[in-house]
Amino acid sequence: AWKRAQAQGFRGKDGFEKELVRHVETTLARSMFNCDEKAAYSATSLAFRDQLILDWNRTQQNQTYRDSKRVYYLSLEFLMGRALDNAMLNIGQKDTAKAGLSELGFRIEDIIGQENDAALGNGGLGRLAACFLDSLASLDFHAWGYGLRYRYGIFKQEIIDGYQVEVPDYWLDFNPWEFPRHDVTVDIQFFGNVRKESKEQGKEVAIWEGGEIVQAVAYDVPIPGYNTSTTNNLRLWSSKASGGEFDFQKFNNGDYESSVADQQRAETISAVLYPNDNLERGKELRLKQQYFWVAASLHDIVRRFKKSKRPWKQFADQVAIQLNDTHPTLAIVELQRILVDIEGLEWEEAWDIVTSTFGYTNHTVLPEALEKWPVGLVQHLLPRHLQIIYDINLYFLQQVEKQFPNDRDILRRVSIIEESQPKMVRMAYLAIVGSHKVNGVAELHSDLIKTTIFKDFVEIYGPDKFTNVTNGITPRRWLHQANPRLSELIASKIGGNDFLKDLTKLNKLESLAEDKEFRKEWSEIKYANKVRLAKLIKELTGVTVNPAALFDIQVKRIHEYKRQQLNIFGVIHRYLTLKAMSPEERKKQLPRVSVFGGKAAPGYWMAKQIIHLINAVGSVVNNDADIGDLLKVIFLPDYNVSKAEIITPASDISEHISTAGTEASGTSNMKFVLNGGLIIGTCDGANIEITREIGDNNIFLFGNLAEDVEDLRHAHNYGSHTIDPDLNKVFEEMEKGTFGTPHDFSAMVAAVRHHGDYYLVSDDFHSYIETHKLVDEAYRNQDEWVAKCIVSVARMGFFSSDRCINEYAESIWNVEPLAVKS
């Protein structure tokens, strides 16, 4: 009975068409005669949504009935992208829809293309959360995502005169994928005061009163698993003024304006995603967002636990909560508050429950990204929580003092409260103290946090509290959906598409690397994917690129540590080299297309300068008749998930070139290799494990190692820093005005020449250029190149987010999949 809902489907294309027509004519109240692509998208989505709802309800009922341990993934970001294509593929009815739509005169890609991305995230961390949801459902885990329902996702990027301009992303005009639950609301308190009241036996209880109340309203998004009827729930909270539309008291008193202002202030909480990636800014509204979402989610989780009527000591047997970075750290404090202040548990008993419940994932070692909040701000907004934080800290420091009686300094170093001016709450420390496991997201990164930023905590807790779970990506979206032809080719050769649920099965491909016919089919698909990207480039930038050229791609958030500046300096070097050649010599060169994409945080001036330089170089190089097809430089505007699905399958080589030790993992590196592209990269993040899996002859590594970075930086500042001579030539050309007003680029040059070259651009430049020469050489031998790509794909099984989720389940959450009844 369980399986049937899923298998029912539409009863063929005619059945699907009937459903589509029904939605156009009734739900949308339109006639089929004026059904445009937007309406066809809406109706198709509604038809698929109907299919999902059946499975979704069944899953929720089954999970409630079984009452097994649940996993809650708390993330301020879920970078979901589009839902329709994913729903079609996971349900397994895309071909039906394609045939039906085609009969009605539509191309399925055009219909899919109507959907706005759900862009509720910045980059890697948000996309990781989305991949995890897909894996959790596909593997039949009983899991929920909790997030915020931002009215505006990450801004849309326009490029005007070479500069980034931000445009608001109002994505909710029509969103069939969410279900408002107006009956699921939580009142969230802010500000106010704490009063202590004496109870029986001299017991004191804290009462938090006054302040203001904002209402959280749940919006649920179904998360279908692939080829299973399990459909999990992503619950997103939206903020609303409490007491309905307006404060009627004020309204009736004639204070209309202030009642509207109150309402707007409440709604502001979930209005907009903060667009910073790897940078923390202590804004009050951000802290409000965090508490609002955390308090609503915990209330919901506790309410669900209480329904089972179990004793509190079983809480952690029923509930695992994973903190996606420190953004939800207040959940630790909130659960302690609920248990002690509201449920009346003793501090120690409550704290045991809390620490057994939480796991914390760290995503960065960059000091500027570590969250800290001024004590005064926390005191003002959440007075009771600050008291609890102080108590948590007190007990923690007492324990440390006992453990290290002769070490005063360690107390200062590990204190959750930084004794600075002003005092700050260190969220990562609070997250560590309040969790039973802390994990990094790639081996190098997990080692680094243990030896650098969290070193003292390893001393205190021992090494077992700290672990590694290397990131992964969902092969459903990042292979099957983004690269359907490659997925089909693989399935046809290795006996079906089981690999989509067990990616290690790709290893059956390895022997085919030497098969000439197979290599030919493989190359044809890569070429077709490059044609598809070339078309997108033309549409978005007007530049024509040759799909036969080597496509060299770097798409990710713009950040100095990710070193897009190294890439563009390398491109300039290539341009100068080509210009210096005779026409005959030039003819022998390999044509290249350098593609960049990514958003800069609106307040990150240097990142915006880098975007400008890329565009400035593009407008010179792309219009230079000496160069022609030999080099094109493209900045693709508004990089997002749906564009990534077109870009990733089209790369020959992609760039993952962060200063060693700075990129925690990276996940696009995995996407590119899985799609049959090679990578050039530093020994950083997951590049290292990718190398181990695919073999060091299948990757182009360059640059200094993480262990040498500190010394090099020291030498720049206190010794001498000689700039690489080739890089100097690049700078001189920029200073001549070749790419426009030199002054525009002087800060980027100065960062290397005069400001200590923190990201080691000059140190790594020579090695980078030499390695690109090796890339060119290798690409000339297409047979070998394609063989490398095939072997690499065959060895990528490890990087599935399914493997990753299974590791979390076993080593952190202690949960097993819910076997689906058939």
DSSP 767-821: HHHHHHHHHHHHHH-HHHHHHHHHHHHHT-GGGBHHHHHHHHIIIII-----PPP
Cβ neighbors of 200 (< 8 A, separation 6 or more) are: none
- Shorter beta-carbon distance to ligand 26Q: residue 637 or 666: 666
- Shorter beta-carbon distance to ligand 26Q: residue 56 or 274: 274
- Shorter beta-carbon distance to ligand 26Q: residue 143 or 369: 369
Which one of 273-281, 315-323, 642-650, 762-770 is the stretch in contact with ligand 26Q (CB under 6 A)?
Answer: 273-281
Which one of 362-370, 624-632, 766-774, 797-805 is the stretch in contact with ligand 26Q (CB under 6 A)?
Answer: 362-370
Quick one: tokens of 736? 């001549």
Decide if 320 contacts 72 (C-beta within 8 A): yes
Amino acid occupying residue 753 = R
d(CA 378, CA 288): 10
3-state DSSP call for residue 218?
A: strand
Cβ neighbors of 289 (< 8 A, separation 6 or more) are: 76, 148, 269, 270, 274
| 203 part of the active site | no
- Shorter beta-carbon distance to ligand 26Q: residue 369 or 787: 369
- Cβ of residue 779: shortest distance to ligand 26Q, in angstroms? 27
Which one of 142-150, 210-218, 489-497, 663-671 is the stretch in contact with ligand 26Q (CB under 6 A)?
Answer: 663-671
Q: Write each residue from 113 to 132 as x if it is in contact with ligand 26Q (CB under 6 A), else as -, in one continuous string.
A: ---------xxxx--x----
Which one of 60-68, 147-155, 229-237, 276-284 is the stretch in contact with ligand 26Q (CB under 6 A)?
Answer: 276-284
- Cβ of residue 122: shortest distance to ligand 26Q, in angstroms? 5
Amino acid occupying residue 676 = G
- In the chain, what's the furthest Cα-to-Cα distance? 95
Q: How many residues does the chain have?
A: 822
Decide if 660 contacts 705 (C-beta within 8 A): yes
What is the β-pairing status of strands 204-209 and 163-167? unpaired
- Cβ of residue 290: shortest distance to ligand 26Q, in angstroms? 9
**C-alpha atoms less than 13 angstroms from C-alpha of 321 in its C-beta half-sphere:** 32
- Shorter beta-carbon distance to ligand 26Q: residue 45 or 446: 446
Does residue 644 bind ligand 26Q (CB under 6 A)? no
- Cβ of residue 275: shortest distance to ligand 26Q, in angstroms? 8
- Shorter beta-carbon distance to ligand 26Q: residue 284 or 514: 284
Decide if 505 contacts 472 (C-beta within 8 A): no
d(CA 114, CA 698): 38
Catalytic residue among 363, 437, 477, 632: 363
25-42 burial by CB neighbour count: b if 16+ within 10 A, else e?
eeebebeeeebeeebbbb
Neighbour tally for 626: CB within 10 Å:
11
- Shorter beta-carbon distance to ligand 26Q: residue 100 or 598: 598
- Shorter beta-carbon distance to ligand 26Q: residue 239 or 471: 471
Catalytic residue among 70, 436, 526, 557: 557
- Shorter beta-carbon distance to ligand 26Q: residue 192 or 666: 666
Which one of 45-53, 361-369, 517-525, 529-537 is the stretch in contact with ligand 26Q (CB under 6 A)?
Answer: 361-369
d(CA 562, CA 808): 27
Q: Of these, 23, 82, 337, 363, which contacts ligand 26Q (CB under 6 A)?
A: 363
| 526 part of the active site | no
Q: Write each residue from 458 to 497 as x if it is in contact with ligand 26Q (CB under 6 A), else as -, in one continuous string.
A: -------------x--------------------------
Decide if 797 contacts 507 (C-beta within 8 A): yes
HEC letters along 694-727: HCHHHCEECCCCHHHHHHHHHHHHHCCCCCCHHH
- Shorter beta-carbon distance to ligand 26Q: residue 218 or 442: 442
- Cβ of residue 602: shortest distance to ligand 26Q, in angstroms? 12
Q: Of these, 364, 487, 554, 800, which contacts ligand 26Q (CB under 6 A)?
A: 364
- Cβ of residue 309: shortest distance to ligand 26Q, in angstroms? 38
Quick one: tokens of 746? 């002087």
Does residue 441 bind ligand 26Q (CB under 6 A)? yes
- Cβ of residue 475: shortest distance to ligand 26Q, in angstroms? 17
**How many residues belong to the site for ligand 26Q (CB under 6 A)?**
24
Q: Can you say whether the dihedral through the CA atoms of 216, 219, 224, 229 is positive or negative?
A: positive
Cβ neighbors of 6 (< 8 A, separation 6 or more) are: 54, 55, 91, 228, 229
Answer whether the bond into residue 649 is a cis peptide, omega within 30°: no
Quick one: tokens of 432? 């560590």
Cβ neighbors of 306 (< 8 A, separation 6 or more) are: none
- Shorter beta-carbon distance to ligand 26Q: residue 369 or 793: 369
- Cβ of residue 564: shortest distance to ligand 26Q, in angstroms? 14
Q: Of these, 18, 286, 465, 766, which contacts ligand 26Q (CB under 6 A)?
A: 286
| 465 part of the active site | no
Phi and psi at 104, nearest 5°, equal -90, 5
Residue sitting closest to ligand 26Q (CB): 124
Q: Write each residue from 89 to 118 as x if it is in contact with ligand 26Q (CB under 6 A), else as -, in one continuous string.
A: ------------------------------
Does residue 278 bind ligand 26Q (CB under 6 A)? yes
Nearest 5°: the CA angle 603, 704, 681 is 70
Catalytic residue among 671, 716, 721, 788: 671
Which parts of 510-529 interact with ligand 26Q (CB under 6 A)? Answer: none
Does residue 276 bind ligand 26Q (CB under 6 A)? yes
- Cβ of residue 358: shortest distance to ligand 26Q, in angstroms? 18
Which one of 12-20, 572-580, 584-592, 662-670 is the stretch in contact with ligand 26Q (CB under 6 A)?
Answer: 662-670
DSSP-derived letter for residue 29 is -
**C-alpha atoms less than 13 angstroms from C-alpha of 308 in its C-beta half-sphere:** 21
- Cβ of residue 128: shortest distance to ligand 26Q, in angstroms? 4
Decide if 21 contacts 32 (C-beta within 8 A): yes
Which parts of 154-183 interact with ligand 26Q (CB under 6 A)? Answer: none
Which one of 12-20, 270-278, 461-469, 756-764 is the stretch in contact with ligand 26Q (CB under 6 A)?
Answer: 270-278
| 288 part of the active site | no
- Shorter beta-carbon distance to ligand 26Q: residue 440 or 547: 440
Q: Of these, 55, 117, 134, 277, which contacts ligand 26Q (CB under 6 A)?
A: 277
Does residue 664 bind ligand 26Q (CB under 6 A)? yes
Amino acid occupying residue 174 = F
Amino acid occupying residue 721 = H
Does residue 281 bind ligand 26Q (CB under 6 A)? yes
- Cβ of residue 445: shortest distance to ligand 26Q, in angstroms? 8
Q: How far is CA 819 from CA 134, 139, 199, 525, in A?
A: 17, 9, 48, 37
Quick one: tokens of 568? 């563009």
Decide if 734 contacts 742 (C-beta within 8 A): yes
The residue written with tokens 């608001």 in the block is 168
Catalytic residue among 13, 384, 562, 573: 562
Which parts of 685-714 interact with ligand 26Q (CB under 6 A)? Answer: 685
The residue written with tokens 């999970």 in the block is 63
Nearest 5°: the CA angle 308, 312, 318 is 55
Amino acid occupying residue 783 = D
- Shorter beta-carbon distance to ligand 26Q: residue 475 or 618: 475
| 821 part of the active site | no
Catalytic residue among 556, 608, 612, 643: 556
Catalytic center residues: 363, 556-557, 562, 667, 671
Contact residues for ligand 26Q (CB under 6 A)?
Answer: 122-125, 128, 274, 276-278, 280-281, 286, 363-364, 369, 371, 441, 471, 663-667, 685
